[in-house]
Amino acid sequence: MNSRFGHMRGVLFALVLGWLAVGAGPAEAQQGLATFERDGLILHTAEGAELAFDIELAASPQQQSQGLMYRQNLAADAGMLFLYRPAREVSMWMKNTLIPLDMLFIAEDGIVVKIAERTVPLSLTTISSGERVRAVLEINGGMASRLGIRPGDRVVHPAFEEQP
């Protein structure tokens, strides 16, 4: 009886260890992911709208490679600002990104130069800025159209006030 209990206890222990190693779900599987500083930015549209976003900053290589991967949702007024120093041509993809996004490519002076709308979740297709940019703002897919955001609009954030 004692060995039978010991065997069952061993099996239970192995199952618990396996569950901990694999994780009970996506949140548990993501331990060790980068954390992000929060900030705000304002986007001024050509039509005169002033749009406020609550953003997370992706400045380090680890933060930039992770981005919004594994997120199940994103608040309507939220986004992630990827910052690049020096400015460069940027290519991104949607690997492990579960929600569609709009990518706003932003020049050093804060002007939106290109928008990739409604990017496809989990896609490995690269999405390029096509020119040197200082930042990329990712927001919910379809928000750029809904809010009237277009190339030529201006982003106000301290990252665009810094000297290169």
24-73 per-position pLDDT tens digit: 344 444 567 889 999 999 999 999 999 999 999 999 999 999 999 999 99
* Pair (39, 78) in one structural domain: yes
Same domain, residue pair 27 and 44: no
What is the greatest pairwise CA distance in the chain?
79
Cα of first residue to Cα of last residue in the chain, in angstroms, is: 74
**One domain for residues 141 and 156:** yes
Counting the structural domains of the chain, the total is 2
Q: Which residue range forms the structural domain that includes residue 146?
A: 34-160
- Which runs of consecutive H residues, i.e. helices, occur in the chain? 2-22, 26-29, 61-66, 143-147
Average pLDDT of the segment spanning 81-104 = 96
Q: For residue range 96-118, list pLDDT tens digits in order.
A: 999 999 999 999 999 999 999 99
Least confident of 28-32, 70-74, 86-90, 147-151: 28-32
Sorted by sequence, the CB contacts under 8 Å of residue 30 that are 6+ apart come out as 23, 70
Which residues have a Cβ under 8 Å from the Cβ of 93 and sit 6 or more positions away? 123, 124, 125, 126, 127
CATH of the domain at 138: 2.60.120.1140
More confident residue, 96 or 163: 96
- Rounded to the nearest angstrom, the gap between the alpha carbon of residue 73 and the centroid of all alpha carbons in its chain is 11
Nearest one of 155, 160, 162 to 137, comparing CA atoms: 155
The pLDDT value recorded for residue 31 is 60
C-beta of residue 157 within 8 angstroms of C-beta of residue 81: yes
Report DSSP state, residue 7. H
My answer on whether 8 and 89 are in the same domain is no
Where does the pLDDT of residue 20 fall: very low under 50, low under 70, confident under 90, or very high at 90 and above? very low
| Model confidence band, residue 162 (pLDDT cutoffs 50, 70, 90) | low
pLDDT at 2: 52
Residue 132 has pLDDT above 50, yes or no: yes
Q: pLDDT value at position 19?
A: 36
